[in-house]
């Protein structure tokens, strides 16, 4: 079945460090790919998305590129801030039909000043 595998956490970085959170997927069709972020005490928020191969999603300095050849959608940020501390979820949705979301396990990021 369709699945998402995320880098195990937790991840702890110093402010201004480079961030990469790995995400790979398995899907029978051509999924849309998403990164969600969950700040403490809040609901999941859509951070960025990509709907087809080679698309790059970007938002708030975060980027992820849809790589069909490696079935990956790694999240990157060049310089993290303390305010980026949160749990990050990679997810996929198959286009058409009900488009249910399938999530990875989440990666907790802590950024220290």
Q: Are 49 and 99 in contact (CB under 8 A)?
A: no
Span between the terminal Cα atoms of the chain, in Å = 41
Cβ-based neighbour number of residue 9 at 10 Å: 15
The nearer residue to another protein, 35 or 80, going by C-beta atoms, is 35
- Determine if 106 is a binding residue for another protein (CB under 8 A): yes
CA 67 to chain centre: 13
The nearer residue to another protein, 32 or 75, going by C-beta atoms, is 32
The nearer residue to another protein, 44 or 111, going by C-beta atoms, is 44
With CA atoms as reference, report the closest residue to 49 among 5, 18, 93, 85.
93
Using the rule CB under 8 A, give the single segment among 17-25, 58-66, 74-82, 85-93 that binds another protein: 85-93
Which residues of this protein are in contact with another protein, per CB under 8 A? 4, 32, 34, 36, 41-46, 49, 89, 91, 93, 98-101, 103-106
């Amino acid at each position: 079945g369709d699945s998402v595998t995320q880098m195990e956490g937790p991840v702890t970085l110093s402010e201004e460090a480079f961030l990469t959170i790995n995400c790979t997927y398995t899907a029978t069709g051509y999924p849309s790919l998403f990164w969600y972020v969950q700040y403490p005490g809040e609901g999941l928020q859509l951070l960025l998305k990509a709907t087809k191969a080679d698309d790059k999603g970007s938002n708030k300095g975060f980027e992820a590129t849809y790589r069909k050849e490696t079935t990956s959608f790694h999240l990157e940020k060049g310089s993290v801030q303390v305010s980026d501390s949160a749990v990050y979820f990679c997810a996929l949705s198959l286009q058409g039909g009900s488009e249910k979301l399938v999530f990875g396990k989440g990666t907790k990021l802590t950024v220290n000043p």
